[in-house]
Amino acid sequence: MKTLNCAGKSLTFDRTLVMGVLNITPDSFYESSRYQSLDQVLSTAEQMVRDGVDILDVGGESTRPGADGTVSSEQELERVVPVVEALRTNFDQVVSVDTSSALVISEASKAGAGMINDVRALLRPGALEAAAATSLPVVLMHSLVEQPETGFVPQYDDVVSKVNEYLLQRVSACETAGITRDRLILDPGFGGGMFGKTPAHDLQLLKHLDRVLALNFPVLAGMSRKSFIGAVLNKPAEQRLSASLAVATLAARAGAQIIRVHDVAETVDAVRMVDAVRNA
């Protein structure tokens, strides 16, 4: 059974793991996941822990559709580091840091983070080297956020092939930089235009998640309340919980090892049932 060493805490993939989203941005796409004070973040984290969360994912830069991505590394650092320290002190769960910044990677690691989660797959200057120096596990996500025209949606011949090709290129870059394969988790990057896909692409990626899993790395799926659900149901983010549980269930059933969500209690129940059926 594969186990990851996350700064002294271990994560074992013997059941589906749930990652809880802790936004410390004032402008997250899902209003009730926006936090301001450290106290608010800690009380949300405490509830997630009671609800069975495995990983607490701290993000200080919003990648939501329409957010202005102009948060400086210093500003991000100011938001993220105190939260990482407080979570590490108060809880046993692995703390993951959702960042693309080399500076934030280094400082969050010093503050006790156990995992790096980068929607830009360590493409920003210095990020590969900073991550290599930490010895932490890294989530590499597919997106086109570093392309010159963000928001441009490509016509994929086969979106799954393109995503897999990109992820394997980033795996190679990591290996060259000294990040061994056993530290890597792959994520196809559900998220519509923000991550270079249409809702149809997101649906194809979920339908064919087995092909991403066939690359033989642990897979993380982050679909909670995202716009492709809205595109199918024509409902706002506030009314996408049931559908988020449906897609989390499908991803867990396909074998995704980590599900990234806002609604921990409900998702833990859903994936526990998937695991129970798998083990029956």
Sole binder of ligand PT1 in the list 35, 42, 61, 190 (CB under 6 A): 190
Q: In what order do the strands lie in the sheet with 138-141?
A: 184-187, 138-141, 115-118, 94-98, 55-59, 17-23, 258-261, 220-222
Residue in the structure block whose two tokens are 């607490």: 56
SS3 per-residue string spanning the chain: CCEEEECCEEEECCCCEEEEEEECCCCCCCHHHECCCHHHHHHHHHHHHHCCCCEEEEECCCCCCCCCCCCCHHHHHHHHHHHHHHHHHHCCCEEEEECCCHHHHHHHHHCCCCEEEECCCCCCCCHHHHHHHHCCCEEEECCCCCCCCCCCCCCCCCHHHHHHHHHHHHHHHHHHHCCCHHHEEEECCCCHHHHCCCHHHHHHHHHCHHHHHCCCCCEEEECCCCHHHHHHHCCCHHHCHHHHHHHHHHHHHHCCCEEEECCHHHHHHHHHHHHHHHHC
110 belongs to the catalytic site = no
> Interface with ligand PT1 includes 194 (CB under 6 A)?
yes
| Candidate ranges 107-115, 168-176, 220-228, 263-271; the one touching ligand PT1 (CB under 6 A) | 220-228
Q: Compare residues 76 and 187 and give the one whose CB is closer to ligand PT1.
A: 187
Within 10 A of 152 (CB to CB), how many other CB atoms are there? 10
Q: According to the binding rule CB under 6 A, does residue 64 interact with ligand PT1?
A: yes
Binding to ligand PT1 by residue 115, rule CB under 6 A?
no
Segment lying near ligand PT1 (by CB under 6 A), choices 57-65, 69-77, 84-92, 153-161: 57-65
Nearer to ligand PT1, 38 or 231 (CB): 231
Q: Is 192 in the site for ligand PT1 (CB under 6 A)?
A: yes
Closest contact distance (angstroms) between CB of 230 and ligand PT1 is 7
State the nearest-atom distance from the C-beta of 195 to ligand PT1, in Å: 6
**From 110, 226, 235, 240, the catalytic residue:** 226
Quote the least distance from Cβ 276 to ligand PT1, whole Å.
Answer: 26
> Is position 117 an interface residue for ligand PT1 (rule: CB under 6 A)?
yes
User: Considering only 84-92, 158-166, 185-193, 210-218, which stretch makes contact with ligand PT1 by CB under 6 A?
Assistant: 185-193
With CB under 6 A as the contact rule, the residue among 79, 120, 201, 260 that binds ligand PT1 is: 260
Residue 271 in the binding site for ligand PT1 (CB under 6 A): no
Name which of residues 120 to 149 contact ligand PT1 (CB under 6 A). Answer: 139, 141
Q: Which is nearer to ligand PT1, 52 or 65 (CB)?
A: 65
- List 79, 170, 183, 260, catalytic entry: 260
Residue 276 and residue 280: Cα distance in Å, rounded? 6
Q: Is 260 a catalytic residue?
A: yes
Give the binding site for ligand PT1 (CB under 6 A): 29, 63-65, 98, 117, 119, 139, 141, 187, 189-192, 194-195, 220, 222, 226-227, 260
The residues annotated as belonging to the active site are 226, 260
